[in-house]
A and B are shown apart, each in its own frame.
Chain A
Amino acid sequence: MAGSDEVNLIESKTVVPLNTWVLISNFKLAYNLLRRPDGTFNRHLAEFLDRKVPANANPVDGVFSFDVIIDRQTNLLSRVYRPAYATPPSVIDLQNPVDGEIVPVIVFFHGGSFAHSSANSAIYDTLCRRLVGLCGCVVISVNYRRAPENRYPCAYDDGWAALNWVNSSSWLKSKKDSKVHIFLAGDSSGGNIVHHVAVRAVESGIDVLGNILLNPMFGGTERTESEKRLDGKYFVTVRDRDWYWKAFLPEGEDREHPACSPFGPRSKSLEGLNFPKSLVVVAGLDLIQDWQLKYAEGLKKACQEVKLLYLEQATIGFYLLPNNNHFHNVMDEIAAFVNAECQ
């Protein structure tokens, strides 16, 4: 109907603050321009439009950052965020050993449905800075390779490489046990990467203390109830989700692929594995919530520790601006989750 789109637009405007609505709508429309029907992506325009910020070794609001090239072959770069030192840091002190009995290190994977954004995108630089301030931790944001130019498993490989680098960085070791206390965190596609990197970690004997998945990107061939009900209503459409999976998954694969559907028929069971505890945050107005809830269910069934945060009136991207209660609630939960072992 002609009127229903209008109703949809107005609906989404009532559930988020106006500046959030502007921000996410702007992304939505810009992203619509970038996806081509033939599966290719307008990368040049994407990079032109993306608002980026440089790292800053001068502390701002108690946090400073610097970039590290982890792997020159793949141009893998990560941005490191640290709490500022008691005295203004000299640049030679960037990799001074972390100061504390237990210092959590969060390896962060930004969102963007595997195709958009970078570690130096302003939205993610800001988010990571907030995480440092709130959790008193170090955050390492991984600039993983993106689809469609780099399909599965590139993003996971990059995540794995970053995890190894973090795990073997002596300056990140907590004083208590001379080990790096690693948490994995990510939103949207980043949440998906968290899961798959954690699986690899467990299989290889690297200790990950916890997974944080914010609106993680999962899917399947079936059209779930939430997808049908919420299609196009809150910034996201089923069609665009399909596009991004097609761009990420190997050619010819469908959404039953284990990357997309970790508890689907083609996936390995997690039962018996020493999988990290998980904090799964689901936005009640996210159309893929049924897949996210299935994910949390799947963890439970495999006897893995999982805490599910279901935020009824939250949309995608609620965590990008600190102007709503969901943001503060989730940040508090993340802080508690990461600092649990310090009690």
Chain B
Amino acid sequence: MKRDLHQFQGPPQSRLSNHVSSSSSSLPVSKDKMMMVKEEEDGGNMDDELLAVLGYKVRSSEMAEVALKLEQLETMMGNVQEDGLSQFATDTVHYNPSELCTWLDSMLSELNPSSDPILPSPEINNSFLTGASDYDLKVIPGNAIYRRSNQFAIDSSSSSSSNQAVNNQNKRLKSCSSPDSMITTNSTTPQIGTTVTTTATTTTAAAESTRAVILVDSQENGVRLVHALMACAEAIQNNNLTIAEALVKQIGFLAVSQAGAMRKVATYFAEALARRIYRLSPPQNQIDHSISDTLQMHFYETCPYLKFAHFTANQAILEAFEGKKRVHVIDFSMNQGLQWPALMQALAVREGGPPIFRLTGIGPPAADNSDHLHEVGCKLAQFAEAIHVEFEYRGFVANSLADLDASMLELRPSETEAVAVNSVFELHKLLGRPGGIEKVLSVVKQVKPVIFTVVEQESNHNGPVFLDRFTESLHYYSTLFDSLEGAPNSQDKVMSEVYLGKQICNLVACEGPDRVERHETLSQWGNRFGSSGFAPALIGSDTFKLASMLLAHNNGGQGYRVEENNGCLMLGWHTRPLITTSAWKLSAAH
């Protein structure tokens, strides 16, 4: 009987999951058993499985030590006056509660300040590496507009001539950087639909295959619509293009019958499926960057995702820049520079006064030859002047971040200038280009940043199987669109939907290097960063709190939620995290 199968599958202990330890925890975990939990680097010291399932990492071997710390903490807390305890809780910054041992240590040392402070890691010895670029296309830097020694306004005497020079350079830029002349080291033939006929669930153990779903629409038509979308994607997966074509037409009708988020999402996915079926080239994503920028601004206005990204990244940067007199931010995601006024403001009013602030903005070339990076720099310079922050700016145009070399960035010795590297929704674009991300990460390492802030979509849209990518992204964007429904109807909102729609189209209709929306999860990025020589720079409860408060203030406490995860912050719609801000530093070995 089917029900018996679900109901009882053996004796209680073994039925319950791989995580059950069949004996009490006082016995050491057998070293022969290879568990399927996240491994510690030291294979012999396994985390207690039962606590791991509940979100706490405690090595079995240190359980007694942790218990002792809990007792000590309780005693110390008992000695604090009642008011003092909640004040202490508010004033203390907490990090990474999953690591119970370190959390307890920090609490103990906070309550007992006489203990030794944690010493900073020794200065890393610098030697600037100038590795040769693997790529033929070189980055052509824009004019360095603001000299460090000058005042922070534009040097007006040279502006007209420099503009001319910039225009000439831009012309040259365009011809060099058009896709026709781009030489890639690997060309993959774009595959529209694969012939893989595996079932929907992947069996790779590499990345966790968690499918977080929020059902926001249980209506009959909504279900049929999702059904049709999935069936169409499956038909494409199996190369049944005739069936796929029939389904995509049906989807069009069903979509119209829907209301709200589901209609919009379905429409975008249907269009993308149609493009894939008919092998229509997608809208010129690569070139229309000015349109992308505009759309992103609307997205910025309509919903909190970008604001959260900027805010949380800035907090991490601010913290890393503490005490530094000269700072340099390298922004991989310059766009309209929306992130930087707030950081500059915070630096302006910080204790000890503002540092000298240098900004290097990197972005793709504009379709209309305008040097938009220059314009953005000018605006920021004006702002800097108004708030009395010494400012220097340089814009770099590059088709891909992988075209950058550290030597172009005019780095200064790290003793004199602290560097932060920032990337918001850019890194995933490198994953379609062999060696791309590795190159960029190696450049970041050469830069020797005090902090490397990364914001990415929290979803795996880069799996090898088309149907899986389709399913993941359908749920991801359904949730995202649902969150937008609460916003008042406006031009901003419509444009935000177009912004997201372009991502959907790229993700579903494109393949090979054209498919740039290759989102991956925090655990995937974490693995990549970890094996590239980065360690997490934990984001704490203070940032969490401020981000939550800003959310509540701006969005009236709707369904947005901030979550802490392994020292990173995620912003989600209800229970589904949608974007993650993480911060990284060079690990001790590097």
Contact = CB atoms under 8 A, between A and B. Distances in A.
Contact of B212 (A54, A83, A320): A54
A198 interface: no
A11 to B, nearest CB: 12
A294 interface: no
A62 B574 contact: no
Contacts of A42: 86, 89-90
Interface stretch (B161-169, B276-284, B508-516, B557-565): B557-565
Nearest to B51: A19
A182 B212 CA distance: 26
A94 B78 CA distance: 49
B26 A18 contact: yes
Contacts of B545: 44-45, 48
How many B residues touch the partner, as a band? 35 or more
Given A44-B549, A322-B16, A92 B226 contact: yes
A231 to B, nearest CB: 14
Contact of B55 (A56, A58, A122): A122
Nearest to B49: A19
Contacts of A36: 86
Contacts, number: 218
A322 B6 contact: no
Contacts of A75: 558-559, 574
Interface string B536-556: 000001001100110000000
B20 A32 contact: no
A34 interface: yes
A33 B86 contact: yes
Interface string A1-44: 00001000100010001110111011011101111110000101
Contacts of A60: 17
Interface string A255-294: 0000000000000000000000000000000000000000
B215 interface: yes
Contact of B576 (A30, A67, A94, A126): A67
Interface in A126-147: 126, 130, 133-136, 143
Contacts of B210: 54, 56, 58
A36 B559 CA distance: 26
A86 interface: yes
Contact of A320 (B54, B78, B100): B54
7 contacts: A17-B24, A22-B70, A52-B563, A68-B218, A92-B230, A122-B54, A122-B55
Interface of A: 5, 9, 13, 17-19, 21-23, 25-26, 28-30, 32-37, 42, 44-45, 47-49, 51-58, 60-62, 66-69, 75, 77, 79, 83-84, 86-88, 90-92, 94-95, 99-100, 103, 119-120, 122-123, 126, 130, 133-136, 143, 320-323, 328, 331-332, 339
Given A48-B564, A95-B218, A323-B20, 20 more contacts: A17-B26, A18-B67, A19-B63, A21-B67, A23-B54, A25-B70, A36-B86, A52-B575, A53-B55, A57-B211, A57-B212, A66-B213, A67-B214, A68-B214, A75-B574, A92-B227, A126-B54, A320-B54, A321-B54, A322-B13
